[in-house]
Each structure stands twice: as C-alpha cells, then as structure tokens.
Amino acid sequence: MPPALPDPADVRAALDAALAEDIGQGDVTTRATVPEETRLTLDMNARQDMVVCGLEIALEVFRRLAPKAEIETFHDDGDRVGPGTRLARLNGPAQGLLSAERTALNLMQKLSGIASLTRQYVDEIDGTGAVLLDTRKTIPGLRGLSKYAVRCGGGTNHRMRLDDGILIKDNHVAVAGSVGEAVTRAKAADTGLEVRAECDTIGQVREAFAAGADSLLLDNMSLDDLRAAVGLIARRIPLEASGGVRLDTIRAIAETGVDYISAGAITQSAPAVDIGLDLGD
C-alpha cells in the first residue's frame, strides 16, 4: 500500500517558503544568459542507492515556474532505486526549469534522505515485531513533509503536534513532583487522549503503570532494564523504547520485546541523498 500523501496545505506552505527564499525578485543569472524562447530537456537521476520521496513535490516546483513543461515520471515515492536510475524527464522553457532546479532538488534530496535512512532502520528490526516511530525532531516548517518521508521509508508517525497526544516527559515529572502525580493529573484532565509517560527507571515504570498510564516510554534504559520492564508490564500496555537508538543498537533494543522504538535521528540527522538534474539526450 502506498504511503498516505502529505497534507496539501503543508506542501503549499513549504513550496511558498522555499521559492520565496531561493528566487527572491527573480533568477537574474538565467534571465541574463538564457534566451526566453530556449527549450530544454532535463533528466532527474538518482546518483546513489536511495528510497524515492518527494518526487511529485519537486515536480510541482517545476510546474510553478515552467507551467508549460512536459513531465514524465518513471518511479513513485517509496520505490528503492540505485545509482543511474532515471526518476523523471522534463521538457520545456529553459528559464523556468533552470530557475526551479535548486529548490526542487533541495526538497527531494532531503525527503529522500529521510526515507532512505528510515528504511535502513526498519530493515534492521525486521522480524522482531517492533515498530519504528518518528518524533517531533524535525526541521521547523517541514514537519508534515518529513513525516511523509518517514512513511515512504516504512516507518510509523507518532505525534504531529503537541495537541494530538499527551506525552509526559522528565521536565513535566520534575514540575509535578513524580511521574505518578503527573499521570494522575493528566488522566484527571479528561482530554480523551492517550496518556504516555516517560520512565527512566523500573521504579517509575511501576509508578506510572499504577497511576493509569495508557503507555510508557522507556528512556535511555539498558537492555536489561528494557527486558525487565517488558516482563513487568506483560503486554498490558504498549512500551516504547527511546534514547541511544542508532542503526547499530536498534536490533538489540527491538529484541528485548518492546512494542515500539522511536528514533529522532531518522528526521533530525538524515543526510540528503544525491540526485542530479542532467541534460537529456
């Protein structure tokens, strides 16, 4: 099943901001060197192994600046491709295509980078039963698109915003006085939302569970403590592991029996992939 598409409002906002940032009052170099009547054929090519993400978003940049361009696509978001793979071909007014190039590639390279890294994490935990979650550690203004990229890579979205789930973190616990008190207050607020509590110790796991937490986030726990928490809770509520999650650690974390693993690195630290726009034949 293809990943759910991003909210069109998120796409419009991202493109508006990106084009305003890059174009300014106009592409003076292209206007000065390329005659208005010139037409161009360009191929968008992958230059490394990657998971495609943001192709239609990137092409929308070209459509805005070169609305009469003819565009042909050869792959879809979520596809795994190798170096030399042609993703799309564009033919149209050279001025518009050249002016759109950097903005389009910037967006697609970043989104494909997130999708590609997410896929690596998902592959690492294949067969364990654990589900990879993203976090709110995203580039400001690109959260909706970043979480779409996670879906393209096979990951699962967690909270989009602060208003769609209660997650009691260590600072909330510090203000409330204890994790049990924080959970009690959150449940009493009667928001209708799941109450998830962060726990650093097995003692906090017991306390948060007793207070009625709907799920627990096990933060920076050792593998032994994760296994202990899994045994203590015995599948009565979901458990999520977080903290210290890397490609070289996620498999062992998953094998402790937790239900979910959240990794900020897949959106916060994913490197952009290499995609080129080359002159077509």
Catalytic residue among 47, 86, 137, 206: 137
Q: What is the 3-state secondary structure (H, E, C) of 240-274?
A: EEECCCCCCCHHHHHCCCCCEEECCHHHHCCCCCC
Question: Of 47, 80, 86, 102, which residue is the catalytic one?
Answer: 102
Options 16, 169, 224, 278, the catalytic residue: 169
Residue in 188, 95, 115, 111 with CA at minimum distance from that of residue 155:
115
- The active-site residue, picked from 124, 219, 240, 259, is 219
CA separation, residue 151 to residues 56, 62, 117, 145, 271 (Å): 15, 24, 12, 10, 17
187 included as an active-site residue: no
Residues 114, 53: contact at Cβ < 8 Å?
A: yes
Question: Counting runs of H as helices and runs of E as strands, what totals does the chain give?
Answer: 11, 12
* 64 is annotated as an active-site residue: no
219 belongs to the catalytic site: yes
CA angle 122, 76, 131 (to 5 degrees): 20
Q: Is 169 a catalytic site residue? A: yes
Q: Phi and psi (nearest 5°) for 248?
A: -85, 0
In angstroms, the first-to-last Cα distance of the chain is 34
Pick the catalytic residue: 10, 77, 101, 198? 198
Strand partners, 104: none
Q: Which residues are catalytic?
A: 102, 137, 169, 198, 219
